[in-house]
Amino acid sequence: MRRVIISGGGTGGHIYPAITIARAIADIEPTEFLYVGSKIGLENTLIPKEGLPFVTLDVRGLERKISVRNLVTLGKTAGSLIKAEGIIRKFKPDVVIGTGGFVCGPVLLAASLSGVPTLIQEQNVIPGVTNTILSRFVNRVALGYEEAAARFKRKDILVYTGNPVRKDILTVTREEGRKALGLDPDKFTLLVAGGSRGARSINTAMIEVHKYFRNDEHIQILHVTGDHEYDRVVKQLPGIECRGRYGKGSRIIPYLHHMPEALAACDLAVYRAGAVGLAELTVRGVPSILIPYPYAAEDHQRYNAQALVMCGAAKMILDKMLTGRELLEEIIHLKDDPKALAAMAQASRSMGKPQAAHDIAELALSIARKRRR
């Protein structure tokens, strides 16, 4: 049986790809997994729910300045490297995979120093600090975007695979999605989501959009505000029903557990530009209006969005330029121009990589097999 260590932590953008890759490897051949995360990351909640064996390292990110905290962090990182070496020695993996986050640093470095095959998966156009450093040591780097290649020095280890998406994103039909969500099968459908915690700037801009379309019978809007933003949004929409229904077609909810159905059902999406979300949009061929999160590291969401814009798959509004009027005008323009929307959908689909998870899994297993020869 194959033995694989996977490490990725901090945010869902690092953890969900790791889970998807693990499932893809298990589909190819019997595998025993060990997930290595940080003590404080979101992985502490998500990974146990997946049933994956889970251990942690006490490691944190460095501040972008000289500080006492950085000295403490470096000390903990050195200790984590020793602990990671112990984990690898005990588990004896055939390959170690990293999907980003500071916890990957000691895990992948320890594996490389131990002669274990290593692979990192970089989701963004602008690589993270950890993956940039690790690229000097690992055997392969699986790129989510071709444009990221320019940021790495070792070109011979780069493989463009696209970003992995979970199976259920690919399998739901438009009809199934609309039926599951109670949406009209014939209306133009707009999906708005800013991530699990919500995006205040998007939610604020959407107030004007909801009011404009309040009496329009030809559009339905599914707006996912995020748990922390829901009450603030609904208080600004007089006449909203207790279940979040507003006007003839708006449905406003704090969280959605059926995102595959929503992506299958929609004609247009308003989104942030995180790598996982964009991968899901493109494999479904969904046109989008993207508002990149302005405080993402190295402004990487803007570069992610720009890749879709350059391909004709999306429009982009910078967060600092976003207003209700600006967003409304883009929505109206695309809603009333089916040809432009269809061209965007085709461009979006052309960027999608539905086989990415399988390809990354095969890439990881291929370097594991070479070690055993």
Binding site for UDP-N-acetyl-alpha-D-glucosamine: what residues are annotated? 11-13, 124, 166, 196, 301
190: three-class secondary structure by DSSP: strand
Q: Cα separations (Å) of 65 from 40, 62, 102?
A: 22, 8, 17
187: three-class secondary structure by DSSP: coil
**Considering only CA atoms, which of 124, 12, 10 is closest in space to residue 60?**
10
Phi-psi region of 107 (alpha: psi -120 to 50; beta: other; left: phi over 0): alpha
Contact call for residues 217 and 248 (beta carbons, < 8 A): yes
- The three-point CA angle 299-302-307 to 5° equals 135
Q: For residues 288 and 265, what is the distance between their CA atoms, to the nearest angstrom?
A: 14
Residues making up the annotated binding site are: 11-13, 124, 166, 196, 301
Q: Cα separations (Å) of 47 from 16, 166, 246, 254?
A: 9, 15, 37, 23
DSSP per-residue string spanning 257-313: S-HHHHHHH-SEEEE---HHHHHHHHHHT--EEE---TTSGGGHHHHHHHHHHHHTS
Q: Cα separations (Å) of 270 from 200, 275, 328, 352?
A: 13, 15, 11, 18
For 255, the token pair is: 């969280």
